[in-house]
Amino acid sequence: MPREPRRARLDQPRSMRRSIMPSPRYDPDAFGRFAEKFARLMGTARFLLYTTVFVALWITANVVGIYGLRWDPYPFILLNLIFSTQASYAAPLILLAQNRQADRDRVQYEQDRVRAERSVADTEYLTREIAALRVALGEVATRDFLRSELRVLLEEIEDRREEPAGGEQGEHGTALG
């Protein structure tokens, strides 16, 4: 029967593993923030300007020679090594920064999707409520209907007042007065 790997339990203290070489500990989030700052810096005109000035000074100093000192003659092998090293570190840092941005975008898209679903549900609810109010208003007497009914009643009252008051019987056999 295969043995399952032990899982860390929160209700028990961790056992301390001792090793000859301690493993380096780093904060992945701090390293990711550094990678993002680095990628953001490399994408600016300032970085290109500083790099151009550095290369121009390097070449000038090695062609002219300061106090006769030329530490990197014409093929500029040391300068090429510096740029190769910088490029070999820049590419993974930029990829790490892009991955972190993609993760943030994924979370943002999910939140936007949930918010959009909630908006659609709210809109559908309000649409149903408005439809119910329209149906309810269709059964309620409108102002024009009430005015016309009151006008008819007023006309009937005026007609009854205009009738002679001499003890005549009304419609229901009662005297109007």
Computed on alpha carbons and rounded to an integer, the radius of gyration of the chain in Å comes to 44
60 in a structural domain: yes
pLDDT at 174 over 60: no
Predicted pLDDT at 13: 74
pLDDT at 164 over 80: no
58 in a structural domain: yes
Output 12 or 158, whichever has higher pLDDT.
Answer: 158
pLDDT in tens, 97-153: 999 999 999 999 999 999 999 999 999 999 999 999 888 877 777 788 889 999 999
52 in a structural domain: yes
pLDDT in tens, 61-102: 888 877 778 888 888 999 999 999 999 999 999 999 999 999
Q: What share of the chain is helix, strand, coil (3-state, %, to 5)?
A: 65, 0, 30
Q: Determine contact, residues 35/96, Cβ cutoff 8 Å.
A: yes
Residue 112 tokens read as 């936007």
166 in a structural domain: no
Number of domain units in the chain: 1
Q: Is residue 97 exposed (0-12), middle (13-18) or buried (19+ Cβ within 10 Å)?
A: buried
16 in a structural domain: no
pLDDT in tens, 26-68: 788 888 898 899 888 888 999 999 999 999 998 888 888 777 7
pLDDT (mean) for 147-170 = 81
* Consecutive H or E run containing 177: none
160 in a structural domain: no
107 in a structural domain: yes
Q: Tell me how far apart the alpha carbons of residues 165 and 113 are, in angstroms, rounded to a whole number.
A: 78
**Of the candidates 50, 49, 58, the residue with the CA atom closest to the CA atom of residue 82:** 58
pLDDT (mean) for 14-21 = 72
147 in a structural domain: no
> In which domain, by residue range, is 87 found?
28-128
